Chain A
Amino acid sequence: MNNIVKEILLKNVLIPTKINVDKKVLETLQLLKREKVIHPVITISSNTPSKIAGIDEVRKQIEDYINERNLNVTILEVGSLGLSSLELIISVQLPGKTRLFFKQVNSENIILILDGIFNNFIQEEYVLGQLKNKIQEPWAQVPFLDEIAYFNFQQRLILNQCGFIDVNSIDEYIAFGGYQTFVKTINQNTPGEVCDIVEESLLRGRGGEGYSTGKKWKIASSTVSPQKYLICNAGESDPGAFMERLLMESDPHNVIEGIAIAAYAISAQKAFIYIESDYELAIQRIRNAIDQATAYGLLGHDIMGTGYNLEIIIKQGAGAYVCGEETALIKNIEGKRGKPHSKPPYPATKGLFGQPTVVNNVETLVNVPVILDKGAEWFKSIGTEDSKGTKVFSISGKVEYTGLVEVEMGTKIRDVIFRIAGGIRNNKRFKAVHIGGPSGGCLTEDHLDTLIDFESIMLVGASLGAASLVVLDEDNCILDTVKYFMDYLQKESCGICIPCREGTRRMAEILENISKRPKDENGYATLQRFKGVMQLETLAEVLKDTSMCGLGRKAANPVLSTLKWFRDEYEEHIFERNCSAGVCQELRTFEIDVDACTGCTLCAKKCPTGAIFGTPKNVHFIVQDKCIGCGICFETCKFSAIISK
């Protein structure tokens, strides 16, 4: 069966000329696209968030359910719809009916859901929506997926197949139109033309500064060299970012196709894909995709008879943040210590093993097949004047829905947070949104109308680089967040250049000092601490000015942007020694409400420092000098008699 499908796909679908309208071919495609199903099909979204949500157990239950009842049901693995907070998501498609998605499936409700659907009854509580399809009969009173606010406001160019197609099947990918662009391109376009189209489309690198992808390719292809390399940078190790992981897990062939076209454009015969080794599932899926594509003759020697050869090699990284920087990444692939070097020379002229090398991140490359398929003009019609296309964000923090979001460039941040992600959880107040991970910056409510494009985001002191949005609400302390990022950076700096190594360390120490109650306050210690605070801004500027690579240059961003927008919160910590969010443990103070205290002695027993005094059935009190602000008493008290200040 599989060989017949392969034959049909290779002979009739993957051809540069117009598709042969053959009944047999159409039927095969229809089956592959699951426009028509003969047996019920259950898809399970298998990705890292769903692993956490307990996919293994649920999957076993589904299999047992089917086996026990002897049902003829196909189970498929799909990637992520992007709605990570609603995992585990499964879909059931009955013959003739539309595909129905269920959310928050777990081992307790799965049997209920299955029992229902196989008896034409829907457990509404767990329904996410149904997938619109003209030839299938829709379920009554179930919203279509594209009508749900989360999907409605998104424009999905590159995530459009994520969560829908079988991640393990190249056939299905081809049936949905995959690899056709690649085959057409290598047959009909010269590498130079591909570069032209991409340059014309004004696609900008999604990884950092937003350099024109086409220009970068042109520099590499115009450099004379016998060997050129393409590197797909999937080294995504910043906290809060997971779009590349989910992209690779959900649509691996799309990533491979992007790499293949880009490699062709710069005449590289070897491409590397650099993935963190702890992205196990992504590595497994990409490896599988490479094997399948190679078996279909879409990679390897003499691709589709065009004489073009391409080998894609997976290179696993050990998780150093700095290895996301392209020169450090190149050193790492060469087998050396991952440390950046000064540019120029840029990798496009002298990169991996001294050869011209283009480093693009996953999202950039995934944009390439769409552009070549639909044309530069079409791509240019999306987005703003300087930033074309869409941008994928990983959104997390205190919002209703966390996960992947793809929006048109030029969308307001407010729309992403409040319309797509459903606003702040538990009706709390929005405080800030942190964009761009450790190298990014915090934005306040006043900036929510900032448009998402390279320039606007940079203007407010953040960076579109690692497009992670971490939403903070009133319960988050800005200083605590910045402290976390600074601590992360001081550990993740490559340790070579002085400003980055020593500067991040000192900045982390200064922030730590601010959020601490001094132990023995004497004049000298206070002076030293204040000197540090006074130097914080100068230090940040020097870091930005003199560091060797992006890590150091952007390391001060969190500090600089929060100092700008949340100065009052810094001052509150420094002068009043108070953290109004109640996060900085050492600055918290607790008092006992004399009216509420029943004298149960529980808090006094639990207090680790013996700071609570009192006799049974009498009101207790806290000795502030002994209190370390741990909050155990607060959590222990059954009568809400402990007040946090």
Chain B
Amino acid sequence: MSVNIEVNNKTIQAKKGETILEALNRNGIKVPTLCRMEGLSPTGACRLCVVEVEGKSGLTPSCSYPIEHPMKIWTHSPRVISARKMLVELLLSNHPDDCLYCIRNGDCELQNLAVELNVRERRISGEKTKINLDQSSPGMVRDPSKCILCGRCVRVCDEVQDVSTFDFINRGNSTLIATSMSKDLNFSNCINCGQCIMVCPTGALHEKTSFDIIQEMLNNKDIKVIAHYSSSVPVSLAKALGLKPGKDVNGLLNAALKGIGFDKVFDSAFGADIAIYEQAAELADRIKNEENLPVLSSCCPGWIKYMEQLHPDMIDLVSTTKSPQQILGTLIKGYYAEKEQISPEKIFTISITPCTAKKFEAQREEMTHKGVSDIDQVITTRELIKLIHLYGIDIHSLNDEFSDEPFNTRSSASKLVSVSGGMTEAVARTLNYFFTGKELSPIQVPKLRGIKNIKEIVLKMDKKNINFVVVSGLKNANKILAEIREGKIKADFVEIMACPGGCINGGGQPFCNDEKVQKTMIKAIYSTDDKEAIKVAHKNPGVLKLYNDFLKEPLSRVSNKNLHTGYKEREVLL
């Protein structure tokens, strides 16, 4: 029901039941908040969204107070502004003064607010809470001294991911956000998905960077430095590099990476095609033998760690295929090194991904070969942008270049993998080919696309009904897995991505609150699938050649040795 309320002496329309903030935002009135997250429970902790409501003695938090009728509101009265300013100053009084050294410098919500509210003087000072930096995790760094205790990470970890690594401990001025038993992150049940980084308003949570070693390797003439990038990276760069948002900058990225000084630049999409091919073969095999169903996808390292911690009973169901990043890593340090006659120790592989959990995956013991990691370093899209700036690359003056052979070809199916539902679509295409010898018709499955976090679909292949389930966000995954355990839903293939929406919303992506930009990125991926001729993994010429020369066929002895792995139960503090 629509009602009229008076805001800043003007009448605006509001809906009964919604919060004041929702009504204000819809009407183009901006009110700052530091703790609110759309879709998650409001905590009303930051108090920055306070407004003056006639008849109320104190100021009212607009993020949680429902619309009443009649209502008279002032959103920027002197009283409100001075209260907001004082709140920000209070936060700053307990914040390390190191903006210039901070990873979020220029991209920090607290900093922006201080600018907006014109904080120009230190009116309040006092003792600051000193807590140690936690660098223990392979994927993330936590700097609690920069934490403003907004609780966004707590809520996203609990309400979206169901991991609940963080919670508030202590009370009063010693309140902190900590992991279970205040242990370091590497002892905790953190899956390194990085969703907390994406919501953190300050630099309290960020990815672990390793620029020093990358620069050192780039300078070392004895080492061959090879970069390869995930399929979602080229579509995520445009806005940050000053190009039209959502533009696929594949060719420019190749040129930029070569400009930085990488000896070879490969496309991880090649690995994705192999992963699709192998996973489809595995699925076909298990369906034929009617054993170990459903197959749970294995390309998301966050989900894999979560499964090892919480669902060890499902280890047998998880596909043994490595993730695209690791497949390419093994191929580079195995097949490619032998072909080029370089010792694997002399190769330094850098994987560029939208993901912080990949940093964890790269250092897993299963992902090494005779003590040499298949992937030496993983950097996120955000770090890549910094690297491009660091090496003074002007993206506007570059011309498109191709990635290097032999891992340069890809199908458009491999591109889909970066969006939730894409892996399933790609696997379905290849699976249909395995069953029928023909291509899926129509080849695109629109039901697997879109923003829903749980999608279920049945496809008929060779008179068999194959059930596909797609989930993203681990809370949803838990729900589906519980239903599978209870036998409530029948599934043959379950695609699980830890980040809601898939890799495109990964924890290593550029910070972006603009939904439109997100949409253009997804659109770019689907339009690639519309435009390109090779739409299936099993038709990728490079992949076919590789199978011909080296791997023989999916699930062959060679591919089993190189491209497949196993997992075991992991004990962590829950």
Q: Which residues of A contact B (CB under 8 A)?
A: 320, 322, 337, 339, 341-342, 344, 489-499, 501-506, 509, 528, 531-532, 535, 538-539, 542, 544-548, 553
Contacts and interface: CB of A to CB of B under 8 A. Distances in A.
Contact of A498 (B42, B45, B79): B45
Given A496-B45, A546-B83, A532 B124 contact: yes
A337 B171 CA distance: 10
B90 interface: yes
Given A341-B43, A494-B175, A542-B82, 6 more contacts: A495-B170, A502-B91, A528-B125, A532-B124, A548-B61, A553-B58
B235 interface: no
A535 B126 CA distance: 13
Contact of A546 (B64, B87, B122, B171): B87
Interface string B157-180: 000000000011011111100000
Interface in B84-106: 86-87, 90-91, 93-94
B90 A497 contact: no
Nearest to A495: B175
A546 B174 CA distance: 21
Contacts of B126: 505-506, 509, 532
Contacts of B174: 491, 495
Contact of A495 (B58, B90, B124, B149): B149
Nearest to A323: B171
10 contacts: A489-B172, A493-B172, A494-B172, A494-B175, A495-B173, A499-B86, A502-B91, A545-B50, A545-B79, A546-B47
Contacts of A337: 167-168
Contacts of B173: 490-491, 493, 495, 501, 504-505
Interface string B20-40: 000000000000000000000
Interface in B370-391: none
B171 A495 contact: yes
B125 A546 contact: no
Interface string B48-91: 10100000001101001110000000000001001100110011
B172 A498 contact: no
Given A342-B42, A496-B45, A531-B123, A545 B171 contact: no
Contact of B171 (A344, A493, A503, A509): A493
A556 to B, nearest CB: 11
B532 interface: no
B171 A320 contact: yes
A509 B129 CA distance: 13
Interface of B: 42-48, 50, 58-59, 61, 64-66, 79, 82-83, 86-87, 90-91, 93-94, 122-127, 148-149, 151, 167-168, 170-175
A501 B87 CA distance: 11
A567 B43 CA distance: 37
A497 B47 contact: yes
Contacts of A339: 168
B371 to A, nearest CB: 45
A496 B151 contact: yes
Q: Which of B42, B122, B126 has most A Cβ within 10 Å?
A: B126
Main secondary structure of the interface of A (DSSP, over half): helix
Contact of B47 (A490, A505, A548): A548
Given A344-B65, A542-B83, A497 B124 contact: no
A350 to B, nearest CB: 12
Given A491-B173, A501-B173, A506 B93 contact: yes
A501 B65 contact: no
Contacts of B47: 497-499, 546-548
Contacts of A545: 50, 58-59, 79, 83
Contact of B127 (A341, A491, A509): A509
Contacts of B87: 498-499, 542, 546
B277 to A, nearest CB: 48
A499 B85 CA distance: 11
B504 to A, nearest CB: 33
B44 A341 contact: yes
A496 B125 CA distance: 20
Contacts of A531: 122-125
A499 to B, nearest CB: 6
The 10 A-B pairs with the shortest beta carbon distances in the complex, nearest first, are A495-B175, A342-B44, A502-B90, A491-B172, A342-B64, A542-B86, A505-B173, A509-B126, A546-B47, A545-B59
A545 to B, nearest CB: 5
A155 to B, nearest CB: 32
Contacts of B168: 337, 339, 495-496
A502 B45 CA distance: 12
Contacts of B59: 545-546
Contacts of A320: 171
A357 to B, nearest CB: 19
A501 B124 contact: no
A445 B153 CA distance: 51
A544 B171 contact: no
Nearest to A338: B171
A509 B168 CA distance: 24
B349 to A, nearest CB: 44
Contacts of B93: 502, 506
B44 A535 contact: no
Given A502-B91, A502-B94, A496 B172 contact: no
Q: Which of B65, B125, B173 has most A Cβ within 10 Å?
A: B173
Nearest to B127: A509
B83 A491 contact: no
A505 B91 CA distance: 11
A109 B174 CA distance: 49
A501 B168 CA distance: 13
B171 A492 contact: yes
Nearest to A490: B173
Contacts of B46: 497-498
Q: Which of B58, B66, B82, B86 has most A Cβ within 10 Å?
A: B86
A496 B175 contact: yes
B125 A501 contact: no
A535 B45 contact: no
Contacts of B172: 489-495, 501, 504
A339 B155 CA distance: 15
Contacts of B50: 545-546
A548 B45 contact: yes
Contacts of B44: 341-342, 497, 548
Contact of A501 (B66, B79, B122, B175): B175
B548 to A, nearest CB: 60
Nearest to A509: B126
Nearest to B126: A509
A542 B93 CA distance: 15
B86 A539 contact: yes
A264 B148 CA distance: 45
Contacts of A491: 171-174
Contacts of A509: 126-127
Nearest to A552: B47
Contacts of A539: 86, 90, 124
A519 to B, nearest CB: 15
A503 B126 CA distance: 11
Nearest to A341: B44
Given A506-B93, A509-B127, A496 B79 contact: no
Contacts of A322: 171
